[in-house]
Amino acid sequence: MKTGCYRGYWRMSRIIAYFVIIIIALWACAHHKDMVEVNEYNNISNQLKLCRDNIKSLKKENAELKEKLNLSNQEMQSLSSKLKKCLDKKQYLLDENIKCLEESKMLIAQIANFKGIIHDKRQAKWRLNKDYEYIISFLDKERLEGRVSVIKESDNIKIVIPQRMIFPTARSAWLTPRGNRLIKKIAQGMKVMKPGYIQIAGHTDNTPIPEGIENVYPTNWHLGLARALSVLMVFEVQGIQKDKLCAISYGETKPIADNSSSEGRAMNRRVEIAIIP
């Protein structure tokens, strides 16, 4: 009996012990759970604080970056403005350079043109001197006899023929045989010289046209032109090209002597052949 009680007591003790162990285990689990939650809470709190600190730091850094960005934008705008000014200045300089180049081209062209003109003038002067020497030699006899005068001007050579050497009277315009021979000889010299242009001018004195011939030569203008044309027609017959010939009349407007004397009027009645090289 005593043994059975002991066994029952032992069994009961074991049950109580198991129960106590279970309670302790549950309490430990609950306590452990609470500890885990506290630690997790603390960890989360720490992380949250850390995140807040990071956010605060990031906000501060963001503000600094915004300020730097604003400064950079302002600097970029300033640089853009300076760049635009530089580009405008560069474009202005390019335009000026283009103008200078165009002006240089024009100056070079003008210089080349001036050189050409100077060269042409030198050539013309050389030809003028050469033609003058030739005509002086060619008409040496006629000059010595006073039938012609040869005058060298700046751009032409003039052969001056008094009226009495080629026309019969003071109011006539047809060539005498001797006058025709003289004009033919001058024409032959012109063909050798090959001038660029020949102008034949008729001159008269200031004496009015007499009534007997006013139907033929109404004025001294007409008489002067008729004399020039008489010479021109001989030149043309002798083979001088038409496009190199010109006949004009100065009438009484360009006297070379005083018309108050017979000698002066005789000098004013003339034909002038201007030879342009």
d(CA 200, CA 142): 19
Tell whether 160 and 241 lie within a shared domain. yes
- Going from the C-alpha of 128 to that of each of 140, 160, 236, the distances in angstroms are 17, 17, 23
| Parallel, antiparallel or unpaired: strands 245-251 and 149-152 | unpaired
- Please check whether residue 48 lies inside any domain of the structure: no
What does residue 160 show for φ and ψ, rounded to 5 degrees?
Answer: -100, 125
Which of 114, 138, 162 delimits the end of a domain?
Answer: 138
Q: What is the pLDDT along the chain (277 residues), one digit of tens a residue?
A: 545 555 666 666 667 766 667 777 676 666 665 665 667 767 777 777 777 777 777 788 778 888 888 888 888 888 888 888 888 888 888 888 888 888 888 888 888 787 777 877 788 788 889 999 999 999 999 999 999 999 999 889 999 999 999 999 999 999 999 999 999 999 999 999 889 999 999 999 999 999 888 889 999 999 999 999 999 999 999 999 999 999 999 999 999 999 999 999 999 999 999 999 8
Tell whether 109 and 162 lie within a shared domain. no
Q: What is the CATH number of the domain that holds 187?
A: 3.30.1330.60
Tell me, what DSSP letter sits at residue 152?
E
Tell whether 256 and 150 lie within a shared domain. yes
Which of 97, 121, 138 delimits the end of a domain?
Answer: 138
Tell whether 111 and 155 lie within a shared domain. no
pLDDT at residue 36 in the model:
59
Tell whether 107 and 214 lie within a shared domain. no
Domain enclosing residue 111, as ranges: 68-138
Tell whether 98 and 123 lie within a shared domain. yes
Output the six-digit token pair for 185: 């000889």
Tell whether 162 and 220 lie within a shared domain. yes
- Model pLDDT for residues 203-253, shown as the tens digit of each residue: 999 999 998 888 899 999 999 999 999 999 999 999 999 999 999 999 999
Tell whether 84 and 194 lie within a shared domain. no
Identity (one letter) of the amino acid at 66?
K
- Please check whether residue 245 lies inside any domain of the structure: yes
**Residues ≥6 apart with Cβ < 8 Å to 217:** 171, 173, 209, 223, 226
Tell whether 153 and 265 lie within a shared domain. yes
Q: Which 3-state string (H, E, C) describes 164-216?
A: HHHCCCCCCCCCCHHHHHHHHHHHHHHHHHCCCEEEEEEECCCCCCCHHHCCC
d(CA 234, CA 230): 7
d(CA 124, CA 86): 55
Which of 89, 113, 138 delimits the end of a domain?
Answer: 138
- Please check whether residue 161 lies inside any domain of the structure: yes
- Please check whether residue 6 lies inside any domain of the structure: no
pLDDT at residue 245 in the model:
96
Scored b (16 or more CB within 10 A) or e, 52-78 reads eeeeeeeeeeeeeeeeeeeeeeeeeee
The count of structural domains within the chain is: 2
- Please check whether residue 203 lies inside any domain of the structure: yes
Tell whether 266 and 199 lie within a shared domain. yes
Tell whether 150 and 225 lie within a shared domain. yes
pLDDT at residue 90 in the model:
82
Tell whether 153 and 268 lie within a shared domain. yes
